[in-house]
Amino acid sequence: MSKRTIVITGASDGIGAAAARNLSRRGDNVVIVGRSATKTRQVADELGADFFVADFAVLAEVRALAATLLERYPRIDVLANNAGGIMGARQSTVDGNEKTFQVNHLAPFLLTSLLMDRLVQSHATVINTSSAANSLLGNLVIGDLNATSGYSANKAYGDAKLANILFTTELHRRFHEQGVSTAAFHPGGVATGFATGSTSVMRLVYTTWLKRFLKTPEQGADTLVWLATTKPGVDWVSGEYYDKRTVAKANKQADDAGLARELWERSLDLVAAPVV
């Protein structure tokens, strides 16, 4: 059997790097994507893996990444949309979107959309890294996805993680019958550089002595690796949100099919992606 090709974004550090190491040890062809050229190359060199650098705050770089992946890989068996983070004061990207929403949702939405034909052909699995913050902090306002009013770093992050789940459910609805399986998951509080640079009080958990109570990156990557190595429809259910390998309760908005459809359409407008 030929090696599977697994693309992991946000794989230069944290749970992305931990998942890449685990999957590489299993014999998969892991493709490392990260924002930092130095850190991304270090992980790739360690594993003997291909790597690509892309800043998800710049959608042109996401489009270039998608084009390169399509050129290089005739199959993509797993796409793990893992890049993301909590930000500080409100910033607009060069594309005109609020940075938290673009990096955590719009960029992976665009990448997945641009790879869709290849993912369908490959009967791929798409894994989206969400967070329990979707329930604790999220309250998505479809008319203000870019948080032009009432911005807070925490709410922006919660909204983006809720968007990850809504994207998962709508991706399942649109493409599962064509062979694509998908799931979102909560990695838990993980001792990484996740909140570096954020103004959120959450940074205190990640940057002080409290960090000792968090999971290791390897523990945080467990559900990602499980979803990537097991069989949808047998070991897990496509379209669901998971925590510790178990279907978990999400924000009540995550059950709103109409909201999921509308988010998909609004996201297409915001990234100006081809309609899929």
Classify the phi-psi angles of 246: left when phi > 0, otherwise alpha if psi is within -120 to 50, otherwise beta: beta
What would the DSSP string read from start to end of 197-263? T--STTHHHHHSGGGGGSBPHHHHTHHHHHHHHS-BTTTB-TTEEEETTEE----GGGG-HHHHHHH
Residue 128: what are its φ and ψ, rounded to 5°? -115, 120
Cα dihedral 220, 223, 226, 227 sign: negative
Catalytic positions are 157
In whole angstroms, what is the distance from residue 223 CA to residue 192 CA?
Answer: 17
Q: Which among 27, 28, 36 has a CA at the least distance from the CA of 9?
A: 36
Q: Which among 189, 128, 127 has a CA at the least distance from the CA of 163?
A: 128
Residue 213's Cβ-count burial label (10 Å; 0-12, 13-18, 19+) is exposed
In whole angstroms, what is the distance from residue 269 CA to residue 276 CA?
Answer: 12
- End-to-end C-alpha distance for the chain, whole angstroms: 31
Residues paired with 8 in a beta bridge:
32, 80
Pairing state between β 29-34 and 50-53: parallel
